[in-house]
Amino acid sequence: MRTNRLKLLVGGVQLRDGVTTVTDLLGKIFTRAGLYAIAMEKGYASTIYGAHQYDPMLVTETPAVSYGDPDIDILVALDYDTNPDAKQQPNRDTVLRHGGFLRDGGILLYDASTGEIPTDDLEARGVKVFPIPARKIAHTELKKEVVKNIIMTGALFRLVDFDNDTAYLTQLLEERFLRKGRELVDLNLQAAARGREAVEKILAERGYELTVRLEPRPAKKAVYVSGNDCLGAGAIAGGVRFYAGYPITPASGILEFMERYLPKYGGRVLQGQNERESIRAAIGAALAGARAMIGSSGPGISLKVEEIGVIGATETPVIVVDAQRAGPSTGMPTRPEQGDLNLVLGSGHGDIPRIVIAPGTIEECYTLMLEACELSDKYQCPVFFLTDLNLSEGKKTVLEEVFAHRPKVTRHAIVREDDVRGKTYRRYEITESGISPRSVPGTPGAIFKTSGAEHDEFGFVSIDPAKRAAMMEKRMRKMDTYLREDWKPPQVFGEVRGAPVIVGWGNTRPVLEEARAVLQARGIKAALVHFTHVWPLRRDALDALLADAGPVVVVEQNYSGQFADLLQQELLIPTRRVLKYNGIPMHPTEVADAVQKALEREGAVVRIGGTAPVKVEVGRNEHEGD
């Protein structure tokens, strides 16, 4: 019997079966029970109704690094056949798609309302099958079809010997439904009991032995939250009081979060009529003195590019969240990718200073956002905050102590009335740091003229060559100041000297940490160098770090290896690449395999995923002469 480590996957038909309703409920209950849950590999489609949806979850006793490999202990299939007379059963998606990932001896729990399905191949591998006619019970016995998911939840809890006294479930149901009446709570509890009974019956009939159990641990202060929730909370704690967005997956969650909570903190939220209106309104709000943020995804950021230039040239502080999804164009709206790096690095014509940071975990969506708030205010330039679909919409048990980290919100280089008394105020004063004191409208004596066109120190449009050069240099000097004062070096795991180095950035860190452990177990001592501060990069520090390193393998989730290109360009070192871009998140073992392959040849590009087997290609190597 294994205690407190469970990997489960809940699947069903989008919207109809309430997949995330179940996993959200489980995540919340497990978190309250002192356990840790991660559900960060959501699978759904860009449709409202009918497509297959799944939500895998890992439950552990101590915090897990990542979701890990795609193996499953318990598969919960909520789909049922809507047409009982159908010869084939089209709604077996969950079993067909994910059955292969069930561990030998695992558990399949499925809705058998419209008949049992053939499971011989699974049973041959020792899978214990639990057909529960949940919808039928809900419909005929309990007279309320929606409680079918609670029947399944009750069944699942029985399978892992959890919440036998229904204390957790009762509490959650009371919180949710008591204001609608005691009967509704009782009905749901009855449903859970029916699920338990059904499992009990099958256990007795088939004589199955259960192998996984969950046991509550002393409660810790923790919440079950998404990355969008965390970055929203970070923005509020970091002083953001104006948020603008336009609905787009997977950034819409930020808009919803902000609409719900920002007004409670005196802030305002604008749902723009298009992507451009939202970023422009944020620029206006920042100009007026509010700390402003916008959120979007790749296609939306493409539309906002014009204004990125405005932010850079007018030196208006705006935080730009890009919750990446797979591209190009509308791409795969509901699949993750790290494909927008080139977009945010190159957005806007001409040269503008910019800062790009990317959190590695849901916790960092909070802590790094606090930093982003400070950086935008200090450097008066676009600060990009790159998450991705999994990080944005995925959920995880996060200790509340993470949110206790609340640095004082400060204002950098803002001129007040007293600062300019008797002086001539120049909005774009040439300074050594490149940062010019900013005034906000309403400050007597500090009237400013701001322009996205090239301007002099007063902000008046100018094409004077000397003034142009000085202003350009002043703006770009901010990057030197940033590298000196605020740049954070990459996190290093292990000994870099003489060892192969895995390099990653942003949301893949947990997977890379585990891939490194896999390699270590195979006797390959690789180091991991992981970047959250992605641009600009400090060459001297990185040169020193990688000077005596072995081969550098950059692992990222895009086709070309955008960060690898950046490293090659900045550090003049050759990189090998491991790339995955099929829309499925990376998993530790496949990354370890691919890194191992990449280590075999110089310039190797190893692509993961697709139907083709992992294949090594000899890539370009610009550092060897013809």
Partner 1 sequence: MSTKGTKIWDENAVPKHRIQWCPGCGDFGVLAALKQALTELEIVPHELLLIGGIGCSGQIRNYLNGNAFHGTHGGALAYAVGAKMANPDLKVVALAGDGDTLAIGIENFVHVCRRDPDMVLLVMNNGVYGLTKGQDSPTAGLGQEREEFSEEHPPMVDPLLLALASEATFVAQSFSGDVKHATRMFVEAFQHPGFAFINDFSPCVTYNKFNTYEWFRDHVEHVPPDHDASSKDAAWALVRDFARRGKVPLGVVYRNPRRCKRFERLPMWEDELGEVDLEPVLAAFR
Closest separation between CB of residue 479 and partner 1, Å? Answer: 22
Per CB under 8 A, 239 contacts partner 1: yes
Stretch that binds partner 1, among 191-199, 245-253, 455-463, 485-493 (CB under 8 A): 455-463
- Of 288, 469, 492, 572, the residue at the interface with partner 1 (CB under 8 A) is 288
Q: Do residues 76 and 10 lie in contact, with contact meaning Cβ atoms separated by under 8 Å?
A: yes
Q: Do residues 154 and 76 lie in contact, with contact meaning Cβ atoms separated by under 8 Å?
A: no
Q: What are phi and psi of 520, to 5 degrees?
A: -60, -45
Residue 257 three-state SS: helix
The region that residue 375 occupies, defined by phi over 0 for left and psi between -120 and 50 for alpha, beta otherwise, is alpha
Binding residues among 143-202 for partner 1 as defined by CB under 8 A:
none
Closest separation between CB of residue 6 and partner 1, Å? Answer: 22
Tell me the per-residue interface mask from 385 to 414 with partner 1, x by CB under 8 A, - otherwise: ---------------x--x--x-xxxx---
Residue 576: closest CA among 553, 599, 549, 555: 553
Q: Do residues 398 and 362 lie in contact, with contact meaning Cβ atoms separated by under 8 Å?
A: yes
Q: Between 148-159 and 182-206, two packed helices, what is the crossing angle to 10 degrees?
A: 50
Per CB under 8 A, 448 contacts partner 1: yes
Stretch that binds partner 1, among 184-192, 278-286, 325-333, 475-483 (CB under 8 A): 278-286
- Of 444, 485, 495, 541, the residue at the interface with partner 1 (CB under 8 A) is 444
Per CB under 8 A, 426 contacts partner 1: no
Show Cβ contacts of residue 179 under 8 Å, excluding neighbours closer than 6 positions: none
Taking the C-alpha atoms of residue 158 and residue 607, their distance in angstroms, rounded to an integer, is: 42
Closest separation between CB of residue 493 and partner 1, Å? Answer: 30
Considering CB under 8 A, how many residues would be counted as binding partner 1?
68
Per CB under 8 A, 241 contacts partner 1: yes
Q: Which residue lies nearer to partner 1 by CB, 81 or 229? A: 229
Closest separation between CB of residue 247 and partner 1, Å? Answer: 15
Q: What are phi and psi of 126, to 5 degrees?
A: 85, 10
- Of 3, 82, 273, 520, the residue at the interface with partner 1 (CB under 8 A) is 273
Closest separation between CB of residue 283 and partner 1, Å? Answer: 6
Tell me the per-residue interface mask from 306 to 335 with partner 1, x by CB under 8 A, - otherwise: xx-xx---x---------------------
Per CB under 8 A, 244 contacts partner 1: yes
Q: Which residue lies nearer to partner 1 by CB, 29 or 554? A: 29
User: Tokens in use for 600?
Assistant: 């075999």
Q: Which residue lies nearer to partner 1 by CB, 63 or 284? A: 284
Q: Between 148-159 and 19-32, two packed helices, what is the crossing angle to 10 degrees?
A: 40
Taking the C-alpha atoms of residue 519 and residue 521, their distance in angstroms, rounded to an integer, is: 5
Sign of the four-CA dihedral 327, 333, 339, 345: positive
Taking the C-alpha atoms of residue 302 and residue 543, their distance in angstroms, rounded to an integer, is: 33
Q: Do residues 380 and 437 lie in contact, with contact meaning Cβ atoms separated by under 8 Å?
A: no
Binding residues among 456-515 for partner 1 as defined by CB under 8 A:
459-461
Q: Do residues 74 and 154 lie in contact, with contact meaning Cβ atoms separated by under 8 Å?
A: no
Q: Beta strand pairing status for 102-111 and 615-618?
A: unpaired
Closest separation between CB of residue 28 and partner 1, Å? Answer: 8
Show Cβ contacts of residue 268 under 8 Å, excluding neighbours closer than 6 positions: 241, 242, 243, 262
Q: Which residue lies nearer to partner 1 by CB, 223 or 435? A: 223
Q: Beta strand pairing status for 212-213 and 318-324?
A: unpaired
Taking the C-alpha atoms of residue 230 and residue 361, their distance in angstroms, rounded to an integer, is: 10
Residue 534 three-state SS: strand
Per CB under 8 A, 264 contacts partner 1: yes
Stretch that binds partner 1, among 101-109, 136-144, 183-191, 266-274 (CB under 8 A): 266-274
Q: Do residues 573 and 524 lie in contact, with contact meaning Cβ atoms separated by under 8 Å?
A: no
Type of residue numbered 364: E
Q: Which residue lies nearer to partner 1 by CB, 31 or 334? A: 31
Per CB under 8 A, 208 contacts partner 1: no
Measured CA distances, 51 to 19, 301, 431, 504, 558 (Å): 12, 27, 57, 33, 25
Per CB under 8 A, 63 contacts partner 1: no
User: Tokens in use for 261?
Assistant: 């909570």
Residue 311 three-state SS: helix
Binding residues among 1-30 for partner 1 as defined by CB under 8 A:
28
Per CB under 8 A, 437 contacts partner 1: no
- Of 105, 452, 489, 550, the residue at the interface with partner 1 (CB under 8 A) is 452
Closest separation between CB of residue 129 and partner 1, Å? Answer: 35
Per CB under 8 A, 229 contacts partner 1: yes
Stretch that binds partner 1, among 50-58, 97-105, 188-196, 224-232 (CB under 8 A): 224-232
Closest separation between CB of residue 95 and partner 1, Å? Answer: 32
Per CB under 8 A, 274 contacts partner 1: yes
Taking the C-alpha atoms of residue 157 and residue 618, their distance in angstroms, rounded to an integer, is: 50
Chain centre to alpha carbon of residue 44 = 15
Q: Which residue lies nearer to partner 1 by CB, 271 or 560? A: 271
Q: Which residue lies nearer to partner 1 by CB, 17 or 229? A: 229
Positions touching partner 1 (CB under 8 A) are 28, 32, 223-225, 229, 232-233, 236-237, 239, 241-242, 244, 261, 264-268, 270, 272-274, 276-277, 280-292, 306-307, 309-310, 314, 400, 403, 406, 408-411, 440-453, 459-461
